[in-house]
Amino acid sequence: MPRNRRQHGLVINTAVSDNINLASLERVSRLGFLRRGLFRDRTNAMIRSLDIRTPGSETIVRYLSGGNQQKVVVARWLSSDAEVYLLDEPTVGIDVGAKVEIYHLINRLVVNGAGVVFVSSDIPELLGMTDRVLVLYRGRIVKAFESSETTPDLILSWATGGQQPA
């Protein structure tokens, strides 16, 4: 999931249904033809499952709130049934209620056996959502922490080129 959903995560002037099914077209088509019933069923299942608040599956994504746009991006990748998900700033720019829903979705992925790489500049969010934190400085991993055994100050110190906070 890309950091900038409007530029890289959505086809903003296209329907919710098209955006949701974009990463799994092979699952909703046969011999190059769309299986409309399956396409519609998968769309509606994702809308219900993720509680995407939209007037309908054919609503243009640009007219949804930021949180619901983010859930459409999540729905696209969930419908791909991947084994590993790379989530780059998955909650940036969305309200607190939508963040909580996204957190629940991520936790559900993990419970169902998926691997999740969670990238965030929000240190408290990282500590709350991860088991382990890898700290990068100038593009290189400089420190690894168990999330339960570190602090925001220690992470920030390593991320800014220091080693231990004073």
The torsion angle over the Cα atoms of residues 117, 119, 125 and 130, rounded to 10 degrees, is: 20
Asked, for residue 58, whether it belongs to a domain, the answer is yes
Span 120-154, pLDDT tens digits: 999 999 999 999 999 999 999 999 999 999 999 99
Count CB neighbours of 93 within 10 A: 14
Q: What is the rounded CA–CA span in Å between residue 147 and residue 134?
A: 9
Span 95-116, pLDDT tens digits: 788 788 888 888 988 999 999 9
Q: What is the rounded CA–CA span in Å between residue 71 and residue 53?
A: 9
Residue ranges making up the domain that contains 27: 5-119
Span 3-48, pLDDT tens digits: 666 677 799 999 999 999 988 888 888 988 888 988 899 999 989 8
Query: Which position has the token pair 């609503």?
Result: 59
Asked, for residue 110, whether it belongs to a domain, the answer is yes
CATH number of the domain that residue 37 is part of: 3.40.50.300
